[in-house]
């Protein structure tokens, strides 16, 4: 049983320490840390489309990121700006000049076959005033480390989904190129532009609308302290449409899907963490909790070792024992202190009278001191020199004088016509209430004055097994009290515990009546 209790204590201690270690070293460090970041970016732009000569556009925007964990986060991003491009030098597309011919056009300019757009060079250019919005999931790799300290630069990858709103206009720098395309595709794809004299000068394209996008890319960022981060990321947008450049003719050599990319220079402020860790989630090492737990387990082992030490072998480990040097065999409380129920200064395992009255003066064995041996402890005995055999008041220790008749030496009292008081108990209790001690004193005096008087004690109760038992206990308590305190022999009493409660009497089922036994 003792070993089982120790095992329970060890288990409880281990659990509480693990919980405190986790809360104090893991959750307190990571959960209350900063999770949000808010920032701005400026981004050169470029397109990968049918008009992908590198012409730099510019975009501006903002972003909000929420870090779900140290390695995973969600980012909302928005931009507005321009995308530009042309087809003057189509090396990226592997263009050649194989499609040229000598078709006559106004001003005798040489043109080429417009049915072979993608690999051809021409003077088409466009400008797209765009806005986009996207949500991306970020996977951060730079904060995972087992052996080295956390670095200040991180790399991350991301992908997601979004939408782009485009407002595209396009045209040709050379009238001959414009004429050939307009002649081939007409008003279905172009709008003819004329000068004041009615001469054809350009063919213009346009598109307004929105398209679904799939952004993906990679980025790097640097920690500048508890408040700021800076970074650079490249984000490519797959649009699954051919509308970004306004050059979308239904020929097999034309590109079907356009892309656009942003090289963003970003700055952000880190928010949150007012009541916890001042660092941001992105800059906390998730592996660190493993080492923290290992340290916690080491501390737990040390605590367990302490729990197993019990110097005085009282069943309470020294770690908890407030009295670690109690004597062998002592009865102790859960705190390890020696038990002393009556608080007389004598430990219970040595106390010959472990339930002595509170405040009584006791000897080395814990027995209340009674110098005159009158049954009243000295601490409340008003006369500690009472002679042997003298009747005393059991509460004060003072002598009680019994009046005797004058002349014949007989008793003063009438022993024939005897009326004795009833004793009333609390419901369900067999404990004598202090207010009836005086009545019992008078009964004892009557019995001493009338040596031949015998008493019938009658207990009233509902006729049942439990009712008879409580009535028996009450009558026994009265007899025991009179015997212990006034030396009234037990054979002067008879008991009747089957009596029915008299009708109409208050407290009938809780009273014990005493009658002269005839």
Does 345 reside within a domain?
no
Does 70 reside within a domain?
yes
Q: Final residue of a domain: which of 283, 311, 342?
A: 283
Higher-scoring residue by pLDDT: 126, 112: 126
Does 395 reside within a domain?
no
Q: What is the pLDDT of residues 481-518, one digit of tens each?
A: 999 999 999 889 988 765 555 555 545 677 888 888 86
CATH number of the domain that residue 435 is part of: 3.30.1330.60
408 pLDDT band (50/70/90 cuts)? Answer: very low
Average pLDDT for residues 272-292, to the nearest whole number? 69
Q: What is the pLDDT of residues 177-231, one digit of tens each?
A: 889 888 888 888 889 899 898 899 999 999 999 999 999 999 999 999 888 999 9
The answer to whether 128 touches 139, Cβ cutoff 8 Å, is: no
Q: Which of 9-18, 58-67, 435-444 has the highest mean pLDDT?
A: 58-67
**Cβ contacts of 187 within 8 Å, gap of 6 or more:** none
> What pLDDT, on a 0 to 100 scale, did the predictor assign at position 29?
46
Q: Over 60: is that where the pLDDT of 156 sits?
A: yes
Does 489 reside within a domain?
yes
Find the domain containing 70 and state its range.
Answer: 35-283
Q: How many domains are contained in the chain? A: 2
The answer to whether 413 touches 446, Cβ cutoff 8 Å, is: yes
15 pLDDT band (50/70/90 cuts)? Answer: very low
**What is the Cα–Cα distance from 139 to 286, expressed in whole angstroms?**
13
User: What is the model's pTM?
Assistant: 0.49
Q: Final residue of a domain: which of 248, 283, 318?
A: 283
Q: Final residue of a domain: which of 283, 309, 330?
A: 283
**What is the Cα–Cα distance from 406 to 420, expressed in whole angstroms?**
25
Average pLDDT for residues 44-57, to the nearest whole number? 86
Does 235 reside within a domain?
yes
Q: How many CB atoms lie within 10 A of CB 68?
A: 12
Does 322 reside within a domain?
no
| 214: Cα separation from own chain's centroid | 39
Average pLDDT for residues 162-171, to the nearest whole number? 94
Question: In residues, how long is the chain?
Answer: 518
Q: Over 80: is that where the pLDDT of 296 sits?
A: no
Does 156 reside within a domain?
yes
Average pLDDT for residues 143-160, to the nearest whole number? 77
Does 16 reside within a domain?
no
Rg of the chain, C-alpha, whole Å:
53
> What pLDDT, on a 0 to 100 scale, did the predictor assign at position 43?
95
468 pLDDT band (50/70/90 cuts)? Answer: confident
């Amino acid at each position: 049983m003792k070993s089982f209790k120790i095992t329970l204590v060890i288990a409880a201690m281990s659990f509480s320490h693990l919980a405190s270690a986790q809360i104090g070293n893991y959750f307190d460090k990571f959960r209350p840390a900063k999770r949000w970041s808010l920032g701005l970016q400026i981004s050169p732009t470029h397109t990968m489309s049918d008009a992908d000569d590198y012409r730099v556009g510019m975009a501006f925007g903002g972003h909000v990121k929420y870090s779900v964990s140290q390695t995973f986060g969600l980012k909302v991003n928005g931009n507005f700006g321009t995308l530009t491009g042309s087809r003057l030098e189509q090396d990226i597309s592997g263009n050649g000049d194989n499609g040229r011919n000598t078709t006559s056009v106004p001003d005798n300019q040489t043109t080429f076959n417009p049915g072979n757009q993608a690999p051809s060079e021409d003077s088409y250019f466009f400008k797209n005033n765009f806005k986009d919005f996207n949500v991306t999931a970020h996977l951060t790799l730079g904060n995972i480390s087992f052996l080295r300290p956390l670095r200040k630069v991180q790399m991350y990858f991301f992908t997601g989904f979004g939408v782009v709103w485009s407002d595209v206009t396009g045209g040709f720098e050379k009238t001959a190129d414009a004429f050939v395309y307009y002649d081939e595709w007409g008003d279905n794809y172009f709008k003819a532009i004329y000068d004041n004299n009615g001469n054809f000068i350009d063919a213009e394209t346009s598109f307004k609308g929105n398209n679904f996008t799939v952004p993906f890319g990679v980025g790097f960022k640097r920690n500048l302290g508890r408040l700021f981060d800076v970074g650079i990321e490249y984000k490519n947008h797959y649009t699954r449409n051919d509308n970004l450049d306004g050059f979308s003719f239904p020929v097999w050599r034309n590109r079907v899907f356009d892309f656009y990319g942003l090289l963003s220079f970003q700055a952000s402020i880190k928010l949150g963490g007012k009541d916890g860790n001042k660092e941001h989630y992105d800059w906390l090492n998730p592996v660190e909790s493993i080492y923290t737990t290992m340290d916690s387990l080491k501390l737990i082992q040390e605590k367990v070792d302490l729990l197993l030490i019990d110097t005085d072998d009282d069943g309470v480990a020294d770690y908890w024992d407030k009295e670690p040097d109690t004597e062998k065999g002592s009865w102790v409380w859960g705190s390890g202190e020696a038990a002393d129920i009556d608080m007389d200064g004598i430990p219970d395992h040595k106390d010959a009278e472990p339930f002595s009255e509170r405040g009584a003066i006791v000897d080395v064995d814990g027995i209340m001191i009674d110098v005159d041996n009158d049954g009243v402890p000295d601490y409340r005995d008003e006369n500690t020199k009472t002679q042997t055999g003298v009747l005393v008041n059991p509460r004060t220790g003072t002598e009680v004088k019994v009046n005797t008749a004058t002349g014949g030496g007989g008793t003063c009292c009438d022993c024939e016509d005897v009326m004795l008081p009833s004793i009333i108990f609390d419901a369900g209790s067999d404990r004598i209430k202090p207010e009836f001690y005086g009545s019992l004193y008078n009964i004892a005096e009557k019995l001493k004055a009338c040596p031949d008087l015998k008493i019938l004690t009658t207990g009233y109760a509902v006729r049942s097994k439990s009712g008879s038992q409580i009535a028996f206990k009450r009558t026994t308590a009265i007899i025991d009290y009179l015997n212990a305190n006034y030396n009234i022999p037990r054979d002067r009493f008879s008991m009747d515990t089957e009596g029915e409660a008299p009708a109409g009497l208050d407290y009938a089922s809780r009273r014990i009546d005493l009658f002269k036994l005839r």
